[in-house]
Amino acid sequence: MKLFGSSSHSRHAHNAVGRRDAYGERSAVGKKRTKKRSKTLRVLIIILAVILALSLAAVAYWFTAVKPPAVVTQKNDGSGGELDVEKDLSDEGQTTGDNRTGQKYTFLAVGMDDGNGNTDTIMLATFDTADYTLNVVSIPRDTLVNVSWSVKKVNSLYAYGGIDGLISGIADIVGYEVDFYGIIDLDAFIKLIDAIGGVDYYVPQDMYYNDPAQNLYIDFSEGMTHLSGEDAMKIMRFRSGYANADIGRIGTQQDFLMTVAEQLLSNVDAVPITTLADIFLSDVETDLSYGEIIWFAKELLKLDTENITFHTLPANYGDSVYGSSYVTIYIDEWLDMVNEYLNPFDEDIELSNLNILTRNQSTGQIYSTSGVYAGRSSWGNDGGGSSSSSNSSSSGGSSEPSTDSETGGGTGTETGGGSGSETGGETGTETGGSSGSETGGETGTETGDSSGSETGGGTGTENGGNSGSETGGGTGTETGGNSGSETDGGTGTEPDGGSGSEAGGETGTEQGSSTDNPSEDTGGNISGETGTDLGVPGENESIVVPEG
Q: Are residues 454 and 436 in the same domain?
A: yes
| SS3 per-residue string spanning 464-478 | ECCCEEEEECCCEEE
Residue 360 lies in a domain: yes
Q: Are residues 60 and 77 in the same domain?
A: no
Buried b / exposed e along 212-236 (16+ C-beta atoms within 10 A):
eebebebebeeeeeebebebbbbbb
β-bridge pairing 414-415 and 430-431: parallel
- What's the domain range around 484? 405-522
The domain tally of the chain equals 3
Contact partners, residue 446, CB within 8 Å, separation at least 6? 406, 421, 422, 423, 424, 430, 438, 452, 453, 454, 455, 456
Q: Is 1 exposed, middle or buried (0-12, 13-18, 19+ CB in 10 A)?
A: exposed
Q: Are residues 285 and 351 in the same domain?
A: yes
The pTM assigned to this predicted structure is: 0.64
Q: Are residues 168 and 279 in the same domain?
A: yes
Residue 306 lies in a domain: yes
Q: Are residues 57 and 157 in the same domain?
A: no
Q: Are residues 126 and 200 in the same domain?
A: yes
β-bridge pairing 104-112 and 180-184: parallel
Q: Are residues 343 and 414 in the same domain?
A: no
Residue among 531, 433, 438, 439 at smallest CA distance from 484: 531
Position 115 scores a pLDDT of 64
At residue 392, what are phi and psi to the nearest 5 degrees?
Answer: -75, 150
Q: Are residues 46 and 76 in the same domain?
A: no
Residue among 199, 71, 79 at smallest CA distance from 146: 79
Q: Is 183 exposed, middle or buried (0-12, 13-18, 19+ CB in 10 A)?
A: middle
Residue 415 lies in a domain: yes
Q: Are residues 143 and 196 in the same domain?
A: yes
Q: Are residues 131 and 160 in the same domain?
A: yes
Q: Are residues 126 and 198 in the same domain?
A: yes
- Three-state DSSP state, 237: helix
Q: Are residues 409 and 467 in the same domain?
A: yes
pLDDT in tens, the chain (548 residues): 444 445 444 444 445 444 555 445 555 556 666 666 777 888 888 888 888 877 776 665 555 567 677 776 667 776 655 444 444 433 444 344 457 877 899 999 999 876 677 898 999 999 999 999 999 999 999 999 999 999 999 999 999 999 999 999 999 999 999 999 999 999 999 999 999 999 999 999 999 999 998 889 999 999 999 999 999 999 999 999 999 989 999 999 999 999 999 999 999 999 999 999 999 999 999 999 999 999 999 999 999 999 999 999 999 999 999 999 999 999 999 999 999 999 999 999 999 999 999 999 999 999 999 999 999 999 999 876 666 654 544 444 443 333 333 333 333 333 333 333 333 333 333 333 333 333 333 333 333 343 333 333 333 333 433 333 333 333 333 333 333 333 333 333 333 333 333 333 333 333 333 333 333 433 333 333 333 333 333 333 333 344 55
- Residues 514, 499: Cα–Cα separation, whole Å: 19
Question: What torsion, rounded to 10 degrees, do the Cα atoms 256, 259, 261, 265 define?
Answer: -170
Residue 373 lies in a domain: no
